Every structure is written in C-alpha cells, then in structure tokens.
Copies of this chain bind each other. A is one copy, B any other.
Amino acid sequence: MSTIGPYSYDASILEKALEGKKGGKVLVQLPDGVKRFASEAMYHLEPYLMNVHIWGGTCFGACDFPNLCEYDLLIQFGHAPIPGVGNEKTVFIPLRRRIIDDSELVMALANTFGDERPSITLVSTIETTHDLDRLADVLHSHKYQCVVPDVIERSYEKGQVLGCNAGHLDIKTDIAIFIGDGRFHPLGIALSNPDIRIFTFKIGNTKLKELTQDAERVVRIRWAIMENAKKCSRFGVITTMREGQNRVAQAEEALLKLREHGKEAEILMTEIVDIASLLDWDFDAYVVTVCPRLALDDSNRFHVPVITLQEMHMILDGASSSSYTFDTLS
C-alpha cells in the first residue's frame, strides 16, 4: 500500500498499469479533495519516467473522465472503476481512508437508540468499503444485526454506493447507515427507500444524523419544481460526452416524449454541466439526463426548473405525488 495525503491505495494496480508503458503519454486525474496532494501523486509516478500531464478539470467520479484521444493512459486516483465504464486506456485506483475507530460508531448508535437494537445496513463510498465487514463484526459483537449489502449495479465492492445507483439498493433492515461525508449519497438512498430510516455517520463523530425529514423535505421541493416545470414550454435536455454518464439514447427518447406532449425541446450536449452556462439559453426548463446530483444538490442555484429524467417522466405521465422515483443510472 502507498499513500497520497491521508489516503492509501494499492500500489500494485499502479505498477501493473504502467508496466511496459515507459515513454507513453499519461494523464493523471484527481478528485477535488485530492488535488492539493498532486505533488505526492506525481512523485509516485516519477520512477516510471512518464510523459505525465495532470487533468485540470473536474473529476466527480469514475463516470467523469475526459476524452483520451491524445493520451495513451489515464490514471484516475480516487474512485473505483464502474463496471463497463472505461477501456484499456483507463485505470482507476481507489483511495482509501484510514481505518475508522469503531468505538465511535458504537457510541453513536447508543446515543441514538439507547438499548434498542435496530437491524442495520452499512453502506459507504469506496473510501471506506474496505472497512465495512470489520465494522459489521464489531456491531455484531454489540448485539446488532448488521448487513453489508452485496455489490449492486455500477458498484465495485460490497456495501459501496455511488449515489446515482442508490435506486438499486434493496434495504431490508430497520435502518441504513451511510458512513462518510456529503448529502447526495445518503439522500439518494433515502429517496429510493422511503420506508427505511437512513442515517449518516461522519467519521470522527459520535452522533448519527437522520436523513428522513430531510428526504421528505427534498421530495416536497422536487414536486414543487416539477409542478413549475410542467407549465414550461421550452425544454433543454442536457446530456454529456462523458462516457460514464452518457445517456444519449434516453435523452433522445425524452426529446420525442416532450415533443409528443406539445413541448418544444432540444438536446444540449456538454462536457461538464456548468450552471453559469445555462444562463445564456432561452429554455425555460431543463431535463438533466446526466448525474442526478446536479438537479438534486444544486436545485436552488438554478433560475429555472431543472429536473431529472425520472421527474420528467413523472410529470408527463401524470404520476401522483405520493410516488416519487429517484433517478437511477444503470
């Protein structure tokens, strides 16, 4: 194992990828939170004497790597590969966080549930999945029933959730705990599992944060935005060249469906969806077929309704407001 900043990774993946690649043109991609450790990452590549550039743009996931025409190899540190995304030129090297202090999680559960023993589903991003089985054992020893879900579609490891694939999670326990930061992943789980109580556990805390009310509020906001979108007449259907989020076929279907419902619509192809760039168009609503995070996390930053592909289907099909469907990529 090697380290970059506070993360560790399996050096053998890197070694294997670079074998026989001396002199090749390599692009290195780092997620935003790791960019400040770029020197360290480059230092690890030095022994291989590659012709290395750093990718200066976004890296929201293994779904978000640029076109590689000019490069022989992409090395993305951070995210795990998404099965079926990428090719022989792409190498994804998961970065792992240091081991969680299990006493914190036990304490957090006691703080919320006292002597109660709800059955638990444990999930996280790739940063912590390597630690989930051990945590489950610890919770078992404290008399909790605890499940780490099997690999779901688009995931690489047991217990891993991407957010955009939360709809593939079928949770059968009383509660689910998402270990990690950020709101998008657990919110996706909550929206896809409205009958289960979903909690976030941030490493270094001794409290769980419940998402149930938050998710209910988000669903109410989504319906309000969808109601506004219903009244709009000109839709931009946003899709992307990024292979891992490229749902062009679905965008084309959405276009036809919107037009069948008397709406004007055009397809907007992008590399990355930049909120500022939407300001210049005269569309009065947008359907986002790319990462659902955009509509969900950034909804209040848009000046017009921005809805997911699922939400578009819901309003055009006249779905009832009790049956919200979270947009899930497959």
Contact = CB atoms under 8 A, between A and B. Distances in A.
A182 to B, nearest CB: 16
Interface in A158-216: none
Contacts of A236: 54, 56
A64 to B, nearest CB: 12
Given A266-B42, A280-B35, A241 B56 contact: no
Contact of A273 (B32, B56, B278, B281): B56
Contacts of A273: 56
B280 A66 contact: no
A264 interface: yes
A236 B27 CA distance: 15
A273 B36 CA distance: 18
Interface string A237-281: 011010000000000000000000000101111111110011011
A268 B54 contact: yes
Interface residues of A, number: 40
A67 B241 contact: yes
Interface in A39-83: 39, 42, 52-58, 66-67, 69-70
B274 A57 contact: yes
A174 to B, nearest CB: 39
B67 A270 contact: no
B271 A274 contact: no
Contacts of A56: 236, 238, 268-270, 273, 277-278
Nearest to A70: B241
Contacts of A55: 268-270
Contacts of A269: 27, 53-56
B58 A277 contact: yes
Contacts of A281: 35-36, 38
Contact of A241 (B66, B268, B282): B66
A36 B236 CA distance: 12
A266 B42 CA distance: 9
A69 B282 CA distance: 27
A29 to B, nearest CB: 10
A130 interface: no
B53 A268 contact: yes
A279 to B, nearest CB: 9
Contacts of A39: 234, 264, 266, 282
A277 B267 CA distance: 26
A73 to B, nearest CB: 13
Interface string A98-112: 000000000000000
A20 B32 CA distance: 45
Contact of A266 (B54, B57, B58, B264): B54
22 contacts: A33-B280, A35-B280, A36-B280, A38-B266, A38-B281, A39-B234, A39-B266, A42-B266, A54-B267, A55-B269, A56-B236, A56-B238, A56-B268, A56-B270, A56-B273, A56-B278, A57-B270, A57-B274, A66-B271, A67-B69, A271-B272, A274-B274
